Amino acid sequence: MFPNPWGFFYSNTISNGSCHSSVPISVRPSEANGMDCVPVTFMQAVLRNFYDGINSRVKGLPGIWGKVGQNFVKKSGVLELTFAPCDLAEKDWRLHYHLDDFEHIKTRTLSREVVKEMARSVKYIHCSMSEYSIQRALDELWNSIAPNDVDQLQLLVALDAPEKALDLTDMYSYFESSFNIDFYSKYSAFLRSFTSVIFENIDQEPFQRLAKDMIATGRMWWIDIWDQVPEHMPASLWLDYFFSNSCKALEASFDDRSVVREAIDRWKSMDPRTLCASSRKVLCGRNVDALAGVDMKKIDVEAEATLFEKIKRLERVVRPIVSLHRIDHPVDPGSSIYIVTLERRSYASSDDCVLVFE
């Protein structure tokens, strides 16, 4: 099974419209009888969103939760997708797919009936343009979908999952801009159906258009852009997205240094309670210099050991912490921004920072 590269906050949440609320996966014996009274559909929804390590987690669940969990594990699976050539000349590139697990589904070919059954227990959908994924599709003879097969493409657009992740990091280096334009025009509806995306960069117009179109769906919960975001893309696009109900994290570094400052200023001028309930928003990048002159308090990590450990456990805090600061909201004392400066990468010219809005 392909490892989940997006093990972020979503694996600990249940979708509720555009917001997400935390739901416990563990049940204490004293709570078992009460928890057994909830509808089976609710249990299935909880289990569906806790796909990461679900096999080991369900073993300790008592009563009906354990039975529903074991049945879910048997029937759950992952849908993997990539684009790969269908001819030796590598001119006919098509969408390829592979059903991983779903042991109760006998056919491996998509149909309305198969997708309906997958929708009950799909753990996540992952589409990658990496060399590894392309080679797997060719070696393992994955099924392919022709660009004009509207019915099958629509089935994929409609199929939802707790995580629907799109990885385009290798497209920039593999393909010319003309290919990417054609690729986007053929598969735009399919690409817009994903809820998280990684770009290597968005210098090319097709990628910029895709980013804007994905944001416009109101379903994007995470965007990661490896290279600098061009200055001509307006700051308002990223700020409106970051403060939308769907966004959990925006990981990018901006040529426009005003984006980070404007995010802080907008947060200060708004009522944080208008943000989605139980929402933690994370802004990552290499724009530490944009914080110069911002009024913030240095946190004593020894005196605030509990807070420090909490910050360290965040998925985006992947390297040692150099410093930790806090910005308090001017009106709401319960809301803060934690500014986490991380140890500089060996190849980087500046530090990475993670801004955690809570």
Query: In 3-state terms, what secondary structure has residue 62?
Result: coil
Q: What is the pLDDT of residue 117?
A: 92
**What's the Cα-to-Cα distance from 143 to each of 31, 109, 138, 256, 307, rounded to whole Å?**
46, 7, 10, 43, 49
Mean pLDDT by 10 residues, the chain (358 residues): 35 39 42 61 68 62 72 82 82 91 91 93 92 93 92 95 92 70 86 95 89 96 91 93 92 87 92 69 78 89 87 76 91 90 73 85
Q: What is the pLDDT of residue 113?
A: 95
Instruction: Record the tokens describing residue 267, joined without a space.
Output: 């947060």
Q: What is the pLDDT of residue 114?
A: 95
- Contacts for 296 with CB less than 8 Å, ≥ 6 apart: 325, 326, 327, 337, 339
Instruction: Record the tokens describing residue 159, joined without a space.
Output: 């199929």
pTM of this prediction? 0.80
Q: What is the pLDDT of residue 7?
A: 37
Instruction: Record the tokens describing residue 20, joined without a space.
Output: 């997400």
- Contacts for 350 with CB less than 8 Å, ≥ 6 apart: 286, 288, 289, 344
φ, ψ dihedrals at 139, nearest 5°: -70, -40
DSSP 345: P
